[in-house]
Amino acid sequence: MQSLSRRSMLKLSLGTAIAAPAILKHTRVYAADFTLKYANNAPMTHPLTVRITEAAEAIRKETGGKVDLRVFPNNQLGGDTDMLSQLRAGALDFFTLSPMILSTLVPKAAISGVGFAFKGYDHVWSAMDGELGDYVRAQIERGGLHPFPKIFDNGFRQISSSTRTIKTPDDLKSFKIRVPPSPMWTSMFQGFGAAPLTINFAEVYSALQTKIADGQENPLVTINSAKLYEVQKYVAKTNHMWDGFWFLSNRASWAKLPAEVRKVIEDQITAAAMKQRVDVAALNDSLEKDLTAKGIAFNSVDAAAFQNKLQSAGFYKEWQGKFGEAAWALLQKSAGRAL
């Protein structure tokens, strides 16, 4: 750890004792000991970015400026697949990623995204903060990354379209829908009879704008913050799966930090996750009105019809086989409904 030089101590005492020149007020008096990089795929206004930016500020304060956690939101550093490679290589220290996309590295991480698994948020949080989450975190550790204790919320996902309302599973037939890079996402939409296209979130807006894809699926908070309403017309309230964001760290860069610094970071990120969950749930409730005003036409669906379609396509049987009995039993136990 770097100790304060006499010069910076002098600046520090000068800066506090007498009115500091403007330049001192706006410049950090001494450099941070630990400069860490966090990146994500979420827009600036998304609660994920907002709460982690606040946490970075709290971490800076609590460590007296020793820890500078830099936030790179909105795919500034690349798409999810790319950022995952950067995290593994140590070019990024922290990254938040959907468990489903993480499953390209840690296959069993996808289990929380099984279609129609969770009845509602009560079941999601008791599962993810409980046994199912513990199971997945152990899998992630085995995959070489360190996951933080509390997963952030992405939300329950809804299907949007520029061409047609999706009222029944039949409406998805051959529908060109963008899905994130993850085998289970592709399998789920093939199960619905759609024509899924794998595209990183960084390219979703332009893929919809240029009609490479006619639709996509995301929680309302993402449809709103990424302005997808500008290039979509309809939203079907399918709630077909819940999705989150694991806060992941590169294992070597995490292990290198002193224990007291790790504790400050973990506590602040945990607090951020708890606030972010509340933000997302509230927004997903209130946004239907705002998005309607922006021109989106909403419709409800009979979720059971969609789940039956997956069932008869063999989706559950296939994934139960892939996850194995032990993991599937954990999911069944926490899901709140039969799968």
**Residues of the shown chain interacting with ligand X2X in the complex, contacts defined by CB under 6 A:** 41, 98, 101, 154, 180, 201, 218, 222, 243
Distance in Å, CB of 178 to ligand X2X, minimum: 8
b/e burial code for range 209-229 (CB count within 10 A of at least 16 → b): eeeebbbbbbbbbbbbbbebb
Question: In the bound complex, what is the minimum distance in angstroms from residue 121's beta carbon to ligand X2X?
Answer: 17
- Identify which of residues 63 and 218 has a Cβ nearer to ligand X2X in the complex: 218
Nearer Cβ to ligand X2X (156/254): 156
Rounded least distance, CB 167 to ligand X2X, Å: 22
DSSP assigned state of 189? H
CB 80 within 8 A of CB 97: yes
Measured CA to CA, the distance from residue 172 to residue 178 in angstroms comes to: 12
Please name the residues in contact with 175: beta carbons below 8 A apart, sequence gap of 6 or more.
161, 164, 166, 194, 195, 214, 215
In terms of CB distance, is 73 or 133 closer to ligand X2X? 73
Strands 158-161 and 195-198, by their bridges, are: unpaired
In the complex, minimum distance from the CB of residue 41 to ligand X2X, in angstroms, rounded to a whole number: 5
**Token pair of 268 as six digits:** 């602040």
Q: Which is nearer to ligand X2X, 63 or 99 (CB)?
A: 99
* The residue to which tokens 């899998």 are assigned: 139
CB of 219 to ligand X2X, least distance (A): 7
Residue closer to ligand X2X by CB (options 206, 312) is 206
Q: Using DSSP bridges, classify how beta strands 158-161 and 152-156 pair: parallel, antiparallel or unpaired.
A: unpaired
